[in-house]
Structure 1
Amino acid sequence: MNDLSRRRLLQLAAASAALAALPGVGLAAQAGLRAATPLGLPQLILARALQDERLKALAGEPDLRAWRDPDQLRAWIAGGEVQLTATPTNVAANLYNRGVPVVLMNVNVWGTLGMLSLPRPFDSLSDLAGRHVGVPWRGDMPDLVLRYLLARQGLEVGRDLRITYHASPFETVQMFLARRLDAAVLPEPMRTATRLQGASLGIEPGELDLQREWARLTGGAAALPQAGVICRRELLEAHPDWVAAVQAAVAEAVPWVNAEPAAAARLGAEQSPLSAPVFEGAIARTRLEMQTAAQARPALEAFFGALAELSSGFIGGGLPDDAFYLADG
């Protein structure tokens, strides 16, 4: 880590700790439930859940906003501007380990990562030997999952293949469609968007599901606990009925998305700049399953532990303790 990155990390940690030390900042300033989400399938699931009339009867019309990056989310959740958010699970653990009073409610996205490749065929990670791969967000989930699996496959970056990192998936997509990469690691829905855009350019990439590669190389399930919903502890203490209602609504939203992908895709398009065909393709390629935090804990700890072998900063330190997980019942 260079000096600039280290200073920035320390500044973020200090700011989060200072804000977190002021319990309930912003929570009482406005009425109603204030929620946030990243773009993509977590946004779609939470948007559907917040339409639940039983929840509205308790908390009123919710305010749902989209955060552009984890830094913005940290500021919002640490300062109490939002009380509840959909988020990648490692970001949730990072917030908790840095002193922000958050509670993981559930995990509902179990596999968005995949790889597109030119030219075909592309059957396993062993086919990456001698190739140039683009990866967004160095040190974050796509990078660590890929490097963990490459090690399991017996491939070494720099010796067997080349990786170029990009600041965002959009840059990775641009480089891939310009044919300046042999392969690209992308989360959904960016992977589907790239496939659709590539088709218009006469590009038909091969595709590899990294969850299936995880199962093949580790002997575990073809599922990675990647995203879920967290809330501020003050919300749980002040309005446990709201939290229970959100949890129940998410439990109904996930099977609805799976059963009604076209309707779900239309809802997603209403909530974001992504098109309905992009959402529909992403739904088909992603395992969506609602598990409470308590139910998902064994899978989370195995996932966190594996990737923390490569970078302890992935979750901001050690495994979160009991207080991180919302208790069932």
Structure 2
Amino acid sequence: MSHLNRRELLKLAAGSALLATLPLRSVFAQQADRLAAATPFGLPLVILARALDDPEIRALIPERDLRDWKDPDQLRAWLARAEVMLTATPTNVAANLYNRGVPVVLMNVNVWGTLGMLGLPSQGRLARIEDLAGRHVGVPWRGDMPDLVFRYLLEKAGLEPGRDLKISYHSSPFETVQMYVARRLDAAVLPEPMRTATRLQSVQFGQQPNELDLQQEWARLTGEQPVLPQAGVLCRRELLEQQPEQVAAMQAAIARAVAWVGDEPQVAARLGADKSPLSQGVYEGAIARTTLKMVPATEARPALETFFSALAELSSGFIGGKLPDAGFYLPASAS
């Protein structure tokens, strides 16, 4: 077998680079009888698992695969390689992917509030953001949604990190939880279901933490509704173009799944516990503390743009540098 010379290697490398820029639909054809989907742990997992098990979806798509992603980088790789065609995701991750050139379409927003705080009872009441003055607060994922929402509210309340309170950042909610339970933090910003899991763990250690709902604080400090368009479902554009009936059917199934979680919280919590390391009790608490409503992407666009614009004041990279254009949103005619 002859060895490639330098010129041939350069040609091969150039060809590979060109292939990487081509629309993936030229390489990957979406099968009509199969759908690969993904989700993070938490309530998005419950919603998507229920939707994929919907009788109409089972009849339309016999082969359905649901995998869990651990961080946005893993999700980005799966989407870029078309290993998954549909996923539950935080809305800022969806916007960031779109603005970075990944061919995705936001189908809906279905999670409208998961953020809250737990505070050590020994530090006094925690009824409003202003009560955090002088305290040490733990926050996961610096520069991500929990951090930006929290800092936006601090600014609205007239509190400055470093001057009025101390913030410690952690690479994951698990680290924040460990620090809080060990009483090395006065308070912690946590999304559901980690907030409920930590509250239950604290009770086991004889603590009854104070809780603060950040959606309610958002409403109090901004004058807007106590809802934040935090998470939804997106698909790759190839799925919409090649299998539009799958997208329409999944949109309808997700709406039914969200309604089911609200109507049957204990059964929904059991489904979550069966499919993740979290307990049924944790899921029950998370469902009770989360605002769930399936809103098609085009209808959710005004709320998303208000939310994105507010947080982009602190970090434009949060959404990839700009508001997504109309191509980001699933057309109403496709639902």
- Same-fold call, TM cutoff 0.5: yes
Q: 308, 315, 321: which is aligned to 2:319? A: 315
Q: In the TM superposition, what are the counterparts of 1:1-329 in structure 2 within 5 Å?
A: 18=20, 21-23=23-25, 25-28=27-30, 32-119=34-121, 120-329=124-333
SS for the counterpart of 1:23 is helix
Identity across matched positions, percent: 70
| Corresponding letter in the other structure for 2:290 | T
Provide structure 1 residue ranges, at least 5 long, that are not aligned to the other structure.
1-14
- Rounded to whole Å, the distance in 2 between the matches of 1:58 and 1:46 is 16
Residues 229/72 of structure 1: CA separation in 2 closer, same or farther (3 Å cut)? same
Q: Contact 1:20 / 1:78 at 8 angstroms: preserved in 2?
A: no
Query: How far off is 1:23 after superposition?
Result: 3.1
| Corresponding letter in the other structure for 1:231 | C
Residues 184/19 of structure 1: CA separation in 2 closer, same or farther (3 Å cut)? farther
- Rounded to whole Å, the distance in 1 between the matches of 2:26 and 2:118 is 44
SS for the counterpart of 1:313 is helix
Q: Spell out, residue by residue over 1:65-106, the C-alpha distance to the aligned partner (whole angstroms, 9 max, x if none).
A: 000110000000111000000000000000000000000000
SS for the counterpart of 2:169 is strand
- How many aligned residue pairs are there? 314
TM-score normalized by the length of structure 1: 0.93
Q: Contact 2:106 / 2:330 at 8 angstroms: preserved in 1?
A: yes
Q: Which residue of 2 aligns with 1:10?
A: none
Query: How far off is 1:203 after superposition?
Result: 1.3
Residues 179/288 of structure 1: CA separation in 2 closer, same or farther (3 Å cut)? same
Query: How far off is 1:22 after superposition?
Result: 3.1
Q: Which residue of 1 aligns with 2:4?
A: none
Q: Spell out, residue by residue over 1:29-61, the C-alpha distance to the aligned partner (whole angstroms, 9 max, x if none).
A: 895000000000111111111111111211213
SS for the counterpart of 1:68 is coil
Query: How far off is 1:28 after superposition?
Result: 4.1
Q: Spell out, residue by residue over 1:153-175, the C-alpha distance to the aligned partner (whole angstroms, 9 max, x if none).
A: 00000000000000000000000
Deviates more, 1:117-126 or 1:78-87: 117-126
SS for the counterpart of 2:110 is strand
> Cα RMSD (Å) of the superposition?
1.5
| Corresponding letter in the other structure for 1:257 | V
Q: Contact 2:33 / 2:60 at 8 angstroms: preserved in 1?
A: no
Q: Spell out, residue by residue over 1:245-300, the C-alpha distance to the aligned partner (whole angstroms, 9 max, x if none).
A: 00000111111101110000000111111111000000000000010001100000
| Corresponding letter in the other structure for 2:112 | W
SS for the counterpart of 1:165 is strand
Q: Contact 1:254 / 1:288 at 8 angstroms: preserved in 2?
A: yes
Q: Contact 1:125 / 1:153 at 8 angstroms: preserved in 2?
A: yes
SS for the counterpart of 2:24 is coil
